Amino acid sequence: MKLNKVWVSGYKSISNDHPQTIEFDKNVTAFIGHNGTGKSTAIEALNKIFATDHSLRGVSPSDFYLSDEDDKSTPRNLVIEAWFNFENTDGNISIPTLINGLTATSADDKVIFRVRLEASLSFDYNPLGDVDEKVWVIDGDMQVPQDDNKHRLSAVQRNGIQVHYVPANRDPLVQLKYSSRAVLGRLLRAIKWQVGEQAQFEAKAQELNKLTAENPALVQIATAINTNWQNIYKGQHLNEATLNFPVGDIDEILKLIQLQFMSDATGNKVDTSRLSDGQKSLVYFALTKALFEIDKATREAVMKREDSNFDPEKMKLPIFSLIALEEPENHLSPHYLGRVIKLVKEYGGSKLCQAIVSTHSPSLVGRVEPLQIRHFRLDADTKSTQIQSLTLPDNADEQAKYISEAVKAYPEIYFAKLVVLGEGDSEQVILPRLLELYDTDVDSHAISVVPLGGRHVNHYWRLLNALKIPFVTLLDFDIDRNGGGFGRIHYCVEQLSKFNPNIRYLHNGILKQIPAWDSSDNPVSYCIDYKVDGTSETKSINILSKLEDNNVFFSSPLDIDYSMICAFPDIFCEKDSDYGERGPVEGKEDEEDTDKTKRETELIKAVLKKGNSGIRYPFDDEWERNFLWYRYRFLSNKSKPASHVRMMLKIKEKYDAEEIKEMLPPELTRLMKKVINLAEQVIE
């Protein structure tokens, strides 16, 4: 039995007009998103039906969604549905408590168990609001069940499905009490005592009170208290005070049990109250996992008809359990976080068990699979929660593996308000520093600069489109390189038209008009003539300009490394003596023509790479100098990021912010303005 999906409408930040469906991974599902996007809301929705802590159940007036336009006294409704399925139904499903509630899907006859909480809020008789709440088992998979399809969920069925909520603020003392709500209390109450064991505990405990009665100091204290009590209080009952240990029976004895740790730096025992916040969190996780392991061992003993240390009836073994772990990163260092997630995965991989983890920590996101992620955000228009699975390639080839690993390597994109997709490490160094010149810090504006590695940009576009995260792309133009120039334009137009077939100008219809990559036309200035609507006139449209209108930019003519060389030759084309640079080997003044031609051919081959078309684009008069330094700085064994860090420092030492902005490559200036404009439009 597994939780397949949850459907929520009208609960807290999830509106009635835009209900949300959350599909669950069969093992672990990760809820990610910024603060206030509804991650806790989704967990609380499950708690309203199945929480082991009954104080978390039940709907209150504050649980109903209220839009900015609605009056607070407006009657409202909410619905929370949980759909369970069964992975293996070849044999009989032997879950007696659910047997009367099982139904089948209409499309493929899969067996499901569907629970629906309905609640309404009215203000007819109470200005604070009256809540009417019902929990049903639904017979069928229709979208809106009729009354004939609704049957009351019994207490046995409801308590057989258990959601263990581990909050962000974890106090293990709550779980160490001798109560049915506490983990330790539940286990202690379920102990199967052997004959005479309870009497032995009680007899030993009474020996403490005998020692108390024989100690003169304790006797004197008790006598003094009792004498003064009787002088003050003259009632018939409770007229004698004694000083004893509260150990009359086994329950009172077990209440005194404490979890202790041995030993601290002084050699003493330490209880949980003296632990750090991080240690308390770890204790909480350990307690919760211990409960599940004992549950599992007890269930296996029952199935094998073996003896168990615990009474299955008192244990109230669940037919399904789910752990909902909220913000495990709180108070924990990253390596501890990895251990906790490992425990959660082990738990979620068990039969009849699943796990939910909610987080806004990129380090945790990198520890789960992308297909296990559910992304939460607030819609800018409705201000309500939107929940989305990740849109990734659905095949198992190298392309799908690359995208999967890439989004794990850069999990900060899920928390970004704006993403700048760049080709590689150079963009990660340069772009944040350039944005600072425009008073736009990437951290304060939640902007992520993510390297593509030059591959599969279309899948990033599809992913970010699905998550409704605005993005800008900076690609290498690679003019005169194999497949570059017009080849890059053709690819981008083709992919953009897939996301928006009605995009103006950049649609599939123009693909045949885009020249081949090795065409002699200039891809920077290339235009296509369009008919003006309703007239016989035409107007010339620059394709590169329209791509920039759609947030796709190119580092021209080659890449951002070459663009920075052209913009700041006095920095990039000078030896860094402090760093011990010797510079590239240049041609001699008395060089023979044949030697010069050979040297230039080798230089062009190195910079434009294999399969190039030779130099046809006007790279300017200083192309040879720029090519030499490009090869020296960025095609040798030197680190690109390290080189750019040093060069950016030198640029800032020599020029002020306004001078740098004037000298930037034109495409980077336009890119900066686009990023700043988009960042200002994003709502926190």
Is residue 404, in this structure, part of any structural domain at all?
no
Local confidence band at 272 (pLDDT 50, 70, 90 cut-offs): confident
The reply to whether 224 and 112 lie within a common domain is no
Q: Which two tokens stand for residue 680?
A: 């200002």
Pick the last residue of a domain from 236, 257, 278: 257
Lowest mean pLDDT among 314-318, 582-586, 674-678: 582-586
Q: What angle do CA 125, 129, 134 make, to 5 degrees?
A: 100
Q: What is the pLDDT of residue 92?
A: 47
626 or 100: which leads in pLDDT? 626
Q: What is the pLDDT of residue 429?
A: 94
The reply to whether 519 and 579 lie within a common domain is yes
Whether 314 shows a pLDDT value over 70: the answer reads yes
Q: What is the pLDDT of residue 358?
A: 93
Most confidently modeled of 405-409, 463-467, 542-546, 612-616? Answer: 542-546
CA distance 480 to 613: 5
The reply to whether 115 and 230 lie within a common domain is no
Whether 345 shows a pLDDT value over 80: the answer reads yes
Specify whether the CB–CB gap between 469 and 418 falls below 8 A. Answer: yes
CA distance 585 to 574: 13
Specify whether the CB–CB gap between 670 and 553 falls below 8 A. Answer: yes
The one-letter amino acid code at 598 reads: K
The reply to whether 426 and 563 lie within a common domain is yes
Is residue 73, in this structure, part of any structural domain at all?
yes
The reply to whether 95 and 202 lie within a common domain is no
Is residue 551, in this structure, part of any structural domain at all?
yes
CB-based burial of residue 408 (10 Å sphere; 0-12 exposed, 13-18 middle, 19+ buried)?
middle
Whether 133 shows a pLDDT value over 90: the answer reads yes
- Give the residue-averaged pLDDT of 6-27: 96
Whether 570 shows a pLDDT value over 80: the answer reads yes
Pick the last residue of a domain from 233, 257, 281: 257
Whether 93 shows a pLDDT value over 50: the answer reads no
CA distance 320 to 26: 12
- Give the residue-averaged pLDDT of 638-654: 91
Is residue 557, in this structure, part of any structural domain at all?
yes
The reply to whether 433 and 580 lie within a common domain is yes
- Give the residue-averaged pLDDT of 15-26: 95
Pick the last residue of a domain from 211, 227, 257: 257
The reply to whether 427 and 565 lie within a common domain is yes
Most confidently modeled of 284-293, 433-442, 533-542? Answer: 433-442
The reply to whether 570 and 642 lie within a common domain is yes
CA distance 407 to 460: 9
Q: What is the pLDDT of residue 136?
A: 95
- Give the residue-averaged pLDDT of 507-511: 87
Cα separations (Å) of 247 from 201, 243, 250, 253, 271? 9, 12, 7, 5, 21
Q: What are phi and psi of 385, to 5 degrees?
A: -70, 135
- Give the residue-averaged pLDDT of 596-602: 83
- Percent of the chain at pLDDT > 70 equals 93
Domain count, the chain: 3
Specify whether the CB–CB gap between 526 and 515 falls below 8 A. Answer: yes
Lowest mean pLDDT among 129-133, 186-190, 394-398, 476-480: 394-398
Q: Which two tokens stand for residue 145?
A: 């069940």
Q: Which secondary-structure segment (H or E) carries 376?
A: strand 373-378
Specify whether the CB–CB gap between 298 and 74 falls below 8 A. Answer: no
The reply to whether 116 and 205 lie within a common domain is no
Widest CA span in the chain: 124
The reply to whether 617 and 501 lie within a common domain is yes
Q: Which two tokens stand for residue 419?
A: 């993403």
The reply to whether 128 and 242 lie within a common domain is no
Whether 592 shows a pLDDT value over 60: the answer reads no
Mean pLDDT over each residue of the chain, to the nearest integer: 87
Is residue 524, in this structure, part of any structural domain at all?
yes
Is residue 362, in this structure, part of any structural domain at all?
no
Is residue 322, in this structure, part of any structural domain at all?
no
Count the neighbouring beta carbons within 10 Å of the beta carbon of residue 491. Answer: 17
Cα dihedral value 548, 553, 558, 559, nearest 10: 160
- Give the residue-averaged pLDDT of 459-470: 87
Is residue 494, in this structure, part of any structural domain at all?
yes
Q: At what angle do helices 425-437 and 666-681 cross, to 10 degrees?
A: 70
CA distance 111 to 88: 10
CA distance 676 to 663: 19
Give the start-end residues of each E strand in 71-129: 76-85, 102-104, 111-122
Whether 392 shows a pLDDT value over 90: the answer reads no
The reply to whether 595 and 522 lie within a common domain is yes
Q: Which residue has the tokens 């260092």?
A: 333
CA distance 664 to 567: 6
Q: The domain containing residue 426 runs over which residues?
A: 412-684
pTM equals 0.84
